[in-house]
């Protein structure tokens, strides 16, 4: 099948399914977390390295475990609650 013959909606379905939540009564968008960088004075180079990916991109709520130690350097606001 040529690229011109592909169904453009097939690509959109994959993308939208990762940001939509089916609540049983409808569907709503899942918003990314608001992560404010607030490093503590005792940050280690290891923690800084672990934090770097979250400084450079949007993060979805299901991508992180807030109990991990390096997330103490962020103020995390979840607009989905």
Query: What's this model's pTM, rounded to 2 decimal places?
Result: 0.62
Per residue in 68-77, pLDDT (tens digit) is 999 999 999 9
Contact 36, 72 (CB under 8 A): no
pLDDT in tens, 2-57: 544 444 444 343 444 456 666 677 777 889 999 999 999 999 999 999 999 999 99
Domain boundary assignment for the chain: 3-77
Buried b (16+ CB within 10 A) or exposed e, 27-38: eeeeeebebeee
Count Cβ atoms within 10 A of the Cβ of residue 57 and give its class: 0-12 exposed, 13-18 middle, 19 or more buried. Answer: exposed
Q: Extract the tokens encoding 42.
A: 């005792």
- Tokens 């290891």 appear where? 46
């Amino acid at each position: 099948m040529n690229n011109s013959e592909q169904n453009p909606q097939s690509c959109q379905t994959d993308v939208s399914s990762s940001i939509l939540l089916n609540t049983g009564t409808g569907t709503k968008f899942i918003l990314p977390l608001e992560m404010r960088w607030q490093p503590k004075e005792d940050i280690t180079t290891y923690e800084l390295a672990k934090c770097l990916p979250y400084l450079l991109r949007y993060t979805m709520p299901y991508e992180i475990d807030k109990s991990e130690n390096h997330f103490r350097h962020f103020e995390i606001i979840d607009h989905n609650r």
